[in-house]
């Protein structure tokens, strides 16, 4: 149940503060369309639903009675959060040229338009760049209170759950920072109006963890509310508690379902297979799984199979006995033995050689390994977590991966959604990485500019969370001390913007763009034209053009093109060129197309 007595007391003088006037609501109303011919209601490009308030009240009551107050509150809060995120996206579109405040009050105005209740602003301080957010609103006759009181009468706890979720979701999306609204007075508690206050999560005290729990239950069940106890620029702040920076962060439905699976499987000994694109955080989830398991105090050993040359992978995994080959002067433990009692994480499992696959299968089935050049078998107690960004079924079909090993690994597959399909996690991740890199680099950046937030939210993130982490680290380093990270600090290496409405032009201005035009493609197209002209000259024996054509240049171009076609997926790009992924990675690295360690 919700602990009582921790709500902040509002000093009376704030109650009398001047009212904030909202702009006309016509621009928003103009976005609402009833399309009777096909049974749809549209709010801009979002399909809407006209729901009976009483039906919502009944659903709410049933949830409370069947699932308990806590669970029901969580569901309602998150439903509101998603709606708030969607409306914040609308706000950017509808009022892009007005003041930040006019853009921000789309939230309370939509709240009114969508029939939730009347919102009156008591105080709004909203500065995206300086990372300032304070919002105080009064709600009159909100629909949730009406329904709550109808079924449960006046109680001791606030009841505007969906609406608090909405305000938090809207503001977080708007700020690109995690904002939490709390209801400090509520009609369901007998107050004459509901009063809500919103601040950046880190500016609330520890009591915020209670309320945050309803918005992001899976992250918070880790027992470490992100950023709650840590100041935004937590450099050297006394008492700022150290929070592991490698824990998964998110609140989207797909994030929650992954965390649910992780939590389910963690206490067992089952082998787990993480699936998903590069950079979605497979290792982070694996570490979390280990931390939640009974092996938590034993080693977690991670191996990226693609990063180790084929001829070394077996000795790395299973160890070497002295004299196994010339130069093996002493015996060496493999990763299996080092992980004994704990967890071994094998990333990019699809790149293992046939012989290593056989040994891995034996280790999984028999729990024993043999060092290279050793006749003795050794028992190991290791839980294996594997991960891959390729389709192992395809690899099996192509004869590159053992079917029996695939079935052995595929006991408990967990698919992690790419970031572009869970955009509501972006503001949370931005806050998380900003704190992490502020601390790491000893900087005190306040947040992101409005156009940086726009760019982050509209970018397609082909490299997923790892790419975002790199982009924010770059931004933290480039932005002026004490200021905000701007879009040009983030997107400096020709990132392709796909599904978005904005791009950054040469002057660093964010401008609306035709989604089919990409800066990098333009330059590549010129490169393609030049090289292909020379190739055809050579092949067709046309000596008019005496340009030389370099094999190296053609290969570089093909590699880049394949990576682009495969949307950054290296394995898929390798398939396009009929080479293996490790070969592809080697070529990409040797040409500096990707960096070492990627
Ligand atoms: Zn209320």
Q: DSSP per residue over 359-405, as a string? A: HHHHHHHHSEEE-BT---EEE---EEEEEESS-HHHHHHTTSS-HHH
Tokens of 383: 């839980």
CA of 146 to the centre of ligand 1 (A): 9
By the 8 A CB rule, do 586 and 553 touch?
no
By the 8 A CB rule, do 568 and 496 touch?
no
Tokens of 354: 């046939």
Separation between Cα atoms, residue 456 and residue 80, nearest integer Å: 22
CA of 143 to the centre of ligand 1 (A): 9
Separation between Cα atoms, residue 24 and residue 105, nearest integer Å: 11
* pTM reported for the whole predicted model: 0.60
CA of 157 to the centre of ligand 1 (A): 9
CA of 158 to the centre of ligand 1 (A): 6
β pairing state of 40-43 and 32-35: antiparallel
- Residue 211: name the closest of 373, 73, 358 by CA: 73
Q: Which residues pair with 199 in a beta bridge?
A: 134, 180
Q: How many C-beta atoms lie closer than 10 Å to residue 567's C-beta?
A: 15
CA of 188 to the centre of ligand 1 (A): 6
- Residue 428: name the closest of 269, 204, 248 by CA: 248
β pairing state of 510-512 and 502-504: antiparallel
First to last CA, the chain: 46
Collapsed DSSP state (helix, strand, coil) of residue 337: helix
- Sign of torsion, CA 331 332 334 337? positive
Instruction: Work out the burial of residue 336: count CB atoms within 10 Å of its CB; fewer than 13 is exposed, 13-18 middle, 19 or more buried.
Output: buried
Separation between Cα atoms, residue 147 and residue 161, nearest integer Å: 12
By the 8 A CB rule, do 429 and 435 touch?
no
Looking at residue 542, its pLDDT comes to 61
CA of 341 to the centre of ligand 1 (A): 51
Separation between Cα atoms, residue 444 and residue 358, nearest integer Å: 51
CA of 160 to the centre of ligand 1 (A): 4
Residue 216: phi and psi, rounded to 5, are: -135, 70
User: How long is the chain?
Assistant: 598
CA of 152 to the centre of ligand 1 (A): 13
CA of 182 to the centre of ligand 1 (A): 10
By the 8 A CB rule, do 545 and 556 touch?
no
Residue 108: phi and psi, rounded to 5, are: -60, -30
Per-residue pLDDT 10s for the chain (598 aa) are 334 334 344 444 444 445 567 888 777 877 777 777 777 888 877 788 889 999 999 999 999 999 888 889 999 999 999 999 988 888 877 777 677 888 888 888 888 888 888 888 899 998 888 888 999 999 988 889 989 988 888 888 899 999 999 999 999 988 888 899 999 999 999 899 999 999 998 888 887 878 888 887 665 444 444 443 333 333 333 333 334 567 888 888 889 889 999 999 999 999 999 999 999 999 999 999 999 999 999 999 999 998 888 888 888 899 988 877 777 778 888 999 999 999 999 999 999 989 899 989 999 999 999 888 888 889 999 999 999 999 999 999 999 999 999 999 999 999 999 998 888 888 889 988 998 999 989 988 888 887 788 788 878 898 999 999 999 998 998 888 888 888 888 887 666 654 334 344 445 443 444 433 333 343 455 566 667 777 777 776 665 555 667 787 788 888 877 877 776 778 888 888 888 888 888 888 777 776 544 4
Give the Å distances, CA to CA, from 80 to 66, 143, 154, 481: 20, 13, 22, 36
CA of 513 to the centre of ligand 1 (A): 42
CA of 190 to the centre of ligand 1 (A): 9
Tell me how far apart the 2 most distant CA atoms of the chain are, in Å. Answer: 91
CA of 6 to the centre of ligand 1 (A): 16
CB under 8 A, 24+ apart: contacts of 313-319: 313/352, 313/353, 313/356, 314/353, 314/355, 314/356, 314/359, 314/372, 315/372, 317/356, 317/359, 317/360, 318/359, 318/363, 318/369, 318/370, 318/371, 318/372, 319/369, 319/371, 319/372, 319/374
CA of 260 to the centre of ligand 1 (A): 30
Separation between Cα atoms, residue 348 and residue 355, nearest integer Å: 16
- Angle in degrees, CA 57, 58, 63, rounded to 5: 100
């Amino acid at each position: 149940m919700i602990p009582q007595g921790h709500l902040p007391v509002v000093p009376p003088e704030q109650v009398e503060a001047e009212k904030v006037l909202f702009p006309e609501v016509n621009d928003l109303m103009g976005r609402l369309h009833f399309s009777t011919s096909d049974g749809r209601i549209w709010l801009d490009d979002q399909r809407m639903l006209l729901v009976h308030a009483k039906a919502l009240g009944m659903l709410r009551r049933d949830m409370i009675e069947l699932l308990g107050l806590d669970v029901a509150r969580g569901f309602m809060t998150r439903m509101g959060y998603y709606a708030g995120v969607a409306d914040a996206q609308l706000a950017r579109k509808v009022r892009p040229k007005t003041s930040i405040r006019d853009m921000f009050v789309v939230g309370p105005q939509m709240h009114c338009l969508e029939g939730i209740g009347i919102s009156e602003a008591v105080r709004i301080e909203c500065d995206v760049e300086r990372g300032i957010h304070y919002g105080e609103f009064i709600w009159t006759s909100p629909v949730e209170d009406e329904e709550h009181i109808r079924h449960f009468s006046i109680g001791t706890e606030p009841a505007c759950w969906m609406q608090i979720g909405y305000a938090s979701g809207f503001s977080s999306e708007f700020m690109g920072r995690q904002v939490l609204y709390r209801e400090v007075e509520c009609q369901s508690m007998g107050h004459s109006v509901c009063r809500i206050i919103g601040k950046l999560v880190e500016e609330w005290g520890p009591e915020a963890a209670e309320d945050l729990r309803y918005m992001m239950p899976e992250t918070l069940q880790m027992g470490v509310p992100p950023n709650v106890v840590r100041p935004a620029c937590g450099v050297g702040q006394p008492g700022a508690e150290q929070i592991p920076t490698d824990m998964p962060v998110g609140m989207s439905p797909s994030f929650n379902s992954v965390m649910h699976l992780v939590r389910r499987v963690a206490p067992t000994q089952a082998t787990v297979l993480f699936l998903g694109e590069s950079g979605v955080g497979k290792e982070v989830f694996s570490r979390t799984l280990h931390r939640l398991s009974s092996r938590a105090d034993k080693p977690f050993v991670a191996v990226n199979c693609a990063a180790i040359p084929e001829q070394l992978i077996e000795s790395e995994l299973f160890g070497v006995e002295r004299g196994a080959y010339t130069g093996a002067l002493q015996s060496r433990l493999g990763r299996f033995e080092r992980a004994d009692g704990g967890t071994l994480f094998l990333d990019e499992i699809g790149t293992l050689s046939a012989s290593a696959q056989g040994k891995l299968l034996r280790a999984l089935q028999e729990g024993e390994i043999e060092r290279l050049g050793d006749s003795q078998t050794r028992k190991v107690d290791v839980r294996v977590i594997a991960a891959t960004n390729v389709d192992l079924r395809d690899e099996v079909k192509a004869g590159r991966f053992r079917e029996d090993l695939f079935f052995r690994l595929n006991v408990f597959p967990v698919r992690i959604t790419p970031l572009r399909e869970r955009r509501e996690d972006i503001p949370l991740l931005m806050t998380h990485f900003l704190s992490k890199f502020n601390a790491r680099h000893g900087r005190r950046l306040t947040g992101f500019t409005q156009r940086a937030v726009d760019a982050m939210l509209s970018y397609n993130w082909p490299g997923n969370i790892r790419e975002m982490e790199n982009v924010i680290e770059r931004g933290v380093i480039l932005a002026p001390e004490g200021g905000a990270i701007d879009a040009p600090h983030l997107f400096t290496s020709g990132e392709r913007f796909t599904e978005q409405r904005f791009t950054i032009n040469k002057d660093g201005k964010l401008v609306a763009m035709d989604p089919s035009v990409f800066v990098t493609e333009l330059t590549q197209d010129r490169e393609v034209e030049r090289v292909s002209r020379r190739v055809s000259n050579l092949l067709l024996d046309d000596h008019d053009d005496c340009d030389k054509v370099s094999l190296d240049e053609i290969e570089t171009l093909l590699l880049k093109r394949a990576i682009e076609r495969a949307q950054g997926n290296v394995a898929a790009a390798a398939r396009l060129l009929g080479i293996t992924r490790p070969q592809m990675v080697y070529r990409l690295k040797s040409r500096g197309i990707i960096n070492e360690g990627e």
